[in-house]
Structure 1
Amino acid sequence: MNWITNYVRPKINSIFSRREMPEHLWTKCDECGTMLFHRELSENLNVCTNCGHHMPISPRDRFRTLFDAGVFTEVSVPDPVEDPLKFRDQKRYPDRLRAAQKKSGEKEAMLVAEGEIGRTPVVVAGQDFSFMGGSMSMYVGNAILAGAERAVETKRPFILFSAAGGARMQEGILGLMQMPRTTIAVQMIKEAGLPYIVVLTHPTTGGVTASYAMLGDVQIAEPNALIGFAGARVIEQTIREQLPEGFQRAEYLLDHGMLDRVTPRGEIRDELITIVRMLMKEPPAIKGDLPAPEPMLEPVAEPAAEESPAEPAQDEDEPK
C-alpha cells in the first residue's frame, strides 16, 4: 500500500462518482436576493420568507391551497378557432402556443374551476402569466364567459385572479374584442345578483385592466402588484412629468381609492371566505375543515317503566 492507493485513487474515484446537484432546488428572490429552498418557498405560497416579496404562482398551485382540501373540478371551456389571422413573426402562432403549453403544462392562459372555500360553493378563474404573459386571447374570453355562465347556472359567486400584460397581439382585433365580451359576462353575474370579486396580482396591465379586472364588486390586490393600463414610461413621455413614487403599485392605488384591500397571499383565502359569505348573506364560517354542527334537539322524556310491586321486607331473625 502506498500514497497512490491510499490517497490518489480514492480522490479520483470521488471526483468521477460525485453526483451533480439537482436543478430547481433553490430559488433566488428577485427583490432581496435571498436563496430560498424550493420546498420552503412552495409551502409559503411562493412568497419570500425573508422580505415578503410575492413571486409568480400558477393558477393550479393557487387553487390547491384555495379550495377546501385542495379539491376542485375544472370547468370546460370551448376551444376557439386556432390561428384565425395566420399570424407569423419570428415563429408561427401555433408553434408559440405549443411552446407555451409545454413550458407551463397548461392548455391556455386561463384556468376555470369550481369547488368550495370555507364550505362555500364558488366558481374561480385564474390567469397564468407564464403562458405568453397571460395575454387576453379568444380562449381567455371563452373561459371567463364559461365561468360566468357556470356561476349563474349554479348560483355561485365568481372570483377571478388576474395577471396579464394585455391583449394577445397574435390575435389582433379578435383579442381586443374580448374586452366588451368579458364585460358582458361580468354584467350577467351582476344581473343574477351574485358577487363578482377580483384579486389583482402582479402584473395586471393593458386591456385586462380596462375590462374585467376592474369591474369587481370587491377589488383586492396582492402587495406591490403592478396595476395599470399604459406603462409608466409611456405616461411620463406623454405628460412630460415625473410620476410619483410607487405609481401604479397596489398600495398607491389603495390610497387613491382604486382598490378595496391589499392583502398578503397567505391571508387571501380567509378574506375571500369572509367576503363571499357576507355578500351571500350566510353566517360566518366556522374555523377548521369541519362542517357546521347539527342543531341540538331537546331530549324527549321517555315513558316511566311500570314499577313491580315491592316484596315485603323480611325480618333478619326470620329464616329465609
Structure 2
Amino acid sequence: MTLGNQPPHDPSHLADADEVDLLCPGCNADLAMDETFRAWSVCGACGRHFWISARDRIAMLAGGQPVDEPPYALPALDPLTYHDRLPAPDRLSDVRDRGALENAVVVARLDLGGTRSLVVALDSALLSGGLGIVAGDKVLSAFERAASESLPLVVICGGGSGPVTDGVLAAFQPARIAGALQQLHRTGQPMIAVVTHPTGSSIRTGLASFADILLLETGAAKDGLRPDATVARRELASRLGGILGTLGRRPVSTAPAEGPALTLAESTDHAKVRLERAGGRNVVLLSLEATGLNLLSIPVLVRGQRLSHTLDLPLVVHLSSTSCSPAGEPAMIPTIADGLLRHRTPVVVVLDGTFDGSVAPLFTGDATIATAASGFCPAGNRGRTYPAADCLRLGLFDAVVPNLGEPAGAAELDRLLDRMLGELERYSPGRRIDRRIAATIRRGAETPARSEATWRELHDLSDLQGAIGRSLDDMRGRLERRQRKLPQVASFPAFQELQHRAALMQLNMPKFQERGTALRDRLTARRPRPEE
C-alpha cells in the first residue's frame, strides 16, 4: 500500500498557539512557535526529544518520499477449533480494536541514503507492555520479508516500559526473533536497531540487543546496552543512510563523504572495530595494539569477527606495536590466532611496528602486508631485529609497502588490498580456510634462506651432541675408576666445553663431589681382605 508523499511531520494535531501554552518541561521554553518542535517534536532550546507515534517516525525517515507499506494479514482463527468465550457484540468490538495493530507496528520500504531498506517502527505508547503474540508476529513477518527481498532491516524500538505482557507464549518471542534474524543474516543483510525513549527491558533484551549495529536516540537511557552511537532525531535518516552505505556494496563514488561510518561500542584504547572502506570495498577493520592486548580486548575481537561473518565482509586486521615487547596477554594469542585461521571471510593482516616473537601466531591471515618501517625481533629486546625487507625475503611476509603516514604508503596498501581481496573472494569459505591454513604452515619453508638456516641448525645440533657425549663419557670413566675424591661435574675438562652454552646449565644434571669417610669406607669394604 503506497501512502503517497507525506511531510516529514504533520503538526496539525497541535493546539493553536493562541489557545494554550506549550512549554518544555526541561527548560520551560515556549514550544508553540518552535519550528524545531513542530517539525521534529524536539525542543529547539534544550534538545529534549518528545514522544511521537510510529507513523510519524516513518514519515520523518521518509523525508517526503513515497512510503511503501507492504500488506499484512492478521492471523486467522479456525472456527472449528476455536471456541469464543465472548458474546458476538463484544467480539465485533474487539475485532475493530485489533485494527490498532496497524499503528502499533508500522512496516515500510524506504530509501535511506540511496539504500532500499525495510523499516519497522514500534509505537512505545501502544506497546507499553512489550511485544505480545500478535505484535510479535508482525515483527517476525518483517524479518522474513527483509530476508526474502534481501533488504537491510532497520527497527525503531519503543515500548515495553509498562507491565509486561503476561503469558509464556509472549515471553517466548525473543527466541523466535533470534531464529528470524539468522534467516536475515543468511542473505548477508544487517539488522540496525534504534532505541528510543521509552524502551523497556523486554524489548531491549528481546529485540534491540540482537542488532548488528545499535544506535541510541538522544534522550533514551542505555540501561545495560552498549550502543555504537547516540544520534539526534533530525540526523537519524542521514546517519542510517551512511551506515547502510558502508555496510552495503555501493561503488566508491557513492560512499558516504564523511568517511568511516562507525567505531563500534566495544572498542578500547588498544582494540578497535570500525566499518571502513579499503581496497575499493567495504571491510571490517580490526585494529589491535599488540603490547596492550588484555581481557577487555576479547569483546572487541568477538564483535569484529561476528560482524564480518554476519555481513560477509572481509576482515582487515591492523596490528601495531610501539616497542619490541611481549604481548600484553600472551595467553590470548593462541585464541586470536585460532579465530583468524577459521574465519569464513577473507582475512588480511597489516603490520605496522616492531613485533616480539610471541606475536608471530597473529600473522595468520590469507595475506600478510608490512610497512617498510616494521620489523620482527624473535628474541625480544635482547636479540636482533629483522627489518620487513628481510622478512619478505625469508617468506614470512607477502608484501611490503611504504609507511602508512606517507601518501604513497596508503595508496599502495589500498591497491594491494584491492588485488588480494579480489583474488580471495573467488574461493568458497571452506576452500579459503584450507588455503589459509596451508599458507600459514608453508610460511618461510619454501625460500633459499631456509636451506641455509637448516644446515646451520643441524651443524649446531651436531656440535652440541658431541660436546654432551664427551662430557658423559668423561663422567662415566671417572665413576668406573671409583676415585675416592670425586670433583664436581663442572670441573671436568669435557664439561667445561659446555659452560658457554647458557641453556644447558639449566638442565637437571647430577652433581658429583667428595662425601668424606662414608664414601671411602663403602668403597674399601668391597675389596677382599688379605686374611680372607
* Deviation of the 1:31 alpha carbon: 2.1
The answer to whether the 8 A contact 1:144-1:185 is kept is no
Distance (whole Å) between structure 2 residues aligned to residue 97 and residue 54 of structure 1: 34
Distance (whole Å) between structure 2 residues aligned to residue 77 and residue 201 of structure 1: 25
Q: Secondary structure at the match of 1:225?
A: coil
Select 1:226's aligned residue among 211, 221, 224.
221
The answer to whether the 8 A contact 1:204-1:227 is kept is no
1:58 corresponds to 2:53: yes
Return the letter of the residue paired with 1:272. Answer: L
* Deviation of the 1:206 alpha carbon: 2.3
Change (3 A) 1:21 1:186: closer
Return the letter of the residue paired with 1:277. Answer: G
Report the equivalent of 1:282.
250
Change (3 A) 1:106 1:37: farther
Select 2:233's aligned residue among 244, 260, 265.
265
CA deviation vs aligned residue, 1:79-133 (integer Å, no higher than 9, x gap): 1469x99999xxx9997996796xxx76352111112122221000001012142
* Deviation of the 1:262 alpha carbon: 0.5
Distance (whole Å) between structure 2 residues aligned to residue 147 and residue 269 of structure 1: 20
The answer to whether the 8 A contact 1:128-1:134 is kept is no
Q: Secondary structure at the match of 2:102?
A: coil
Structure 2: runs of 5+ lacking an equivalent: 1-14, 258-532
Distance (whole Å) between structure 1 residues aligned to residue 217 and residue 243 of structure 2: 16
1:213 corresponds to 2:208: yes
Return the letter of the residue paired with 1:268. Answer: L
Distance (whole Å) between structure 1 residues aligned to residue 65 and residue 172 of structure 2: 34
Report the equivalent of 2:175.
180
Q: Secondary structure at the match of 1:268?
A: helix
* Deviation of the 1:40 alpha carbon: 2.3
Change (3 A) 1:270 1:21: closer
Q: Secondary structure at the match of 1:259?
A: coil
What is the TM-score of this pair, normalised by structure 1? 0.62
Q: Secondary structure at the match of 1:203?
A: strand
1:11-22 correspondence to structure 2 within 5 Å: none
The answer to whether the 8 A contact 1:60-1:111 is kept is yes
Return the letter of the residue paired with 1:198. Answer: A
* Deviation of the 1:55 alpha carbon: 0.6
The answer to whether the 8 A contact 1:112-1:147 is kept is yes
1:53-202 correspondence to structure 2 within 5 Å: 53-67=48-62, 69-80=64-75, 107-133=102-128, 135-165=130-160, 169=164, 172-202=167-197
CA deviation vs aligned residue, 1:246-299 (integer Å, no higher than 9, x gap): xx6xxxx5xxxx110011111111111011011012143689xxxxxxxxxxxx
Change (3 A) 1:171 1:262: same
Return the letter of the residue paired with 2:114. Answer: R
Distance (whole Å) between structure 2 residues aligned to residue 203 and residue 279 of structure 1: 28
Number of equivalences: 234
Moved more, 262-271 or 164-173: 164-173
Distance (whole Å) between structure 2 residues aligned to residue 79 and residue 100 of structure 1: 9
Distance (whole Å) between structure 2 residues aligned to residue 28 and residue 208 of structure 1: 30
Change (3 A) 1:21 1:128: closer
Q: Which has the higher contact order (CA 8 A, sep 6+)?
A: 1
Change (3 A) 1:95 1:35: farther
Return the letter of the residue paired with 1:262. Answer: T
Change (3 A) 1:56 1:192: same
Moved more, 158-167 or 214-223: 158-167
Alignment RMSD (CA, Å): 3.5
Q: Secondary structure at the match of 1:209?
A: helix
The answer to whether the 8 A contact 2:195-2:217 is kept is yes
* Deviation of the 1:184 alpha carbon: 1.5
Give the fraction of aligned pairs with identical amino acids, expressed as a percent: 26
The answer to whether the 8 A contact 1:197-1:218 is kept is yes
CA deviation vs aligned residue, 1:4-47 (integer Å, no higher than 9, x gap): xxxxxxxxxxxxxxxx9689865332322323017725544111
The answer to whether the 8 A contact 1:117-1:273 is kept is yes
Change (3 A) 1:188 1:148: same
Distance (whole Å) between structure 2 residues aligned to residue 94 and residue 108 of structure 1: 19
Report the equivalent of 1:6.
none
Q: Secondary structure at the match of 1:199?
A: strand
Report the equivalent of 1:308.
none
Distance (whole Å) between structure 2 residues aligned to residue 276 and residue 25 of structure 1: 42
Report the equivalent of 1:309.
none
The answer to whether the 8 A contact 2:162-2:200 is kept is no
What is the TM-score of this pair, normalised by structure 2? 0.39
The answer to whether the 8 A contact 2:161-2:198 is kept is no
Change (3 A) 1:278 1:152: same
1:33 corresponds to 2:1: no
The answer to whether the 8 A contact 1:109-1:135 is kept is no
The answer to whether the 8 A contact 1:186-1:212 is kept is no
Distance (whole Å) between structure 2 residues aligned to residue 98 and residue 56 of structure 1: 25
